[in-house]
Copies of this chain bind each other. A is one copy, B any other.
Amino acid sequence: MLKRVALWVMYDGTAFSGYQVQPGKRTVQLEVEKALRTLHKGTDVRVHASGRTDTGVHARGQVLHFDSPLMIPTERWPKAINSCLPEDVRIIEASYVQADFHSRYAAVKKEYRYRVFTPKHPDVWRRNTTFHFPYSIDFERVKKAASYLLGTHDFSSFCASNTDVQDKVRTLYELEVCKQGDEIVFRLVGSGFLYNMVRIIVGTLLEVGIGKRVPDELATILEAEDRTKAGKTAPGNGLFLWKVSYEYEIFSDEF
């Protein structure tokens, strides 16, 4: 009898060519499936994620699921899998879920965060987890610009052109910008995100912040439904998949 297991996974994306398996590349999926194969004595176990992440992108709250015949108590799963994983991926919690649960299709909300490091001098310890953007940023302008993006819109202007997704309408529930120490952190909560959407939004808002664009331009960019109207794609290293929400809480710890 197979039981479905959901995993809360954290990873440092620096040394990965993204989440998804690609021939000859070190990916998160590859490492997790390798660990599960070891635990299942050589049997392949296919893992499904809430979504992919690109090269260098991090995850604090990625959710995966897989089916297993092993009778391991919930609280033992993380330790068992972690013992077979490299240090840059950690399973924080596991949970048995219903047989029809799907980490991707059942997701109702996703939160991403994006960290920008603004001091003049670089910080060697944060070079892989923040975007170093050493300019003076006008906070109020960024907030004003951000407000245009809230709600339900066609986000074509904020989607990488190389995508085959047809429906580009998404709902952005929250878009907060706040100072945390010497960083500026963007927090975006939405129904779902298009390819590169967070990074293009952040890149465009930063251009507003340094005076390269006026806040009201965001309305025009959205309406244009044209990627070339928005700003640059901010680099992947500042991006974190922070949390994936489902209709009910899957994990017991504060996720």
A residues bordering B, Cβ < 8 Å? 10-12, 58, 87-90, 92, 121-125, 127, 129, 253
- How far apart sit A133 and B11, CA to CA, in the bound complex (Å)? 19
- How far apart sit A219 and B212, CA to CA, in the bound complex (Å)? 62
**Min distance, Cβ A239 to any Cβ of chain B, angstroms:** 13
Residue of B nearest to A12 (CB): B124
User: Is B124 a contact of A90 with CB atoms below 8 Å?
Assistant: yes
Copies in the complex: 2
- How far apart sit A146 and B178, CA to CA, in the bound complex (Å)? 37
User: Is B125 a contact of A12 with CB atoms below 8 Å?
Assistant: yes
> What residues on B are CB-neighbors of A90 within 8 Å?
121-122, 124
Could you list some 20 contacts between A and B, CB below 8 A?
A10-B121, A10-B123, A10-B124, A11-B124, A12-B124, A12-B125, A12-B127, A58-B124, A58-B125, A87-B124, A87-B127, A88-B124, A88-B127, A89-B124, A90-B121, A90-B122, A90-B124, A92-B121, A121-B253, A125-B129
- How far apart sit A92 and B90, CA to CA, in the bound complex (Å)? 34
- How far apart sit A127 and B88, CA to CA, in the bound complex (Å)? 8
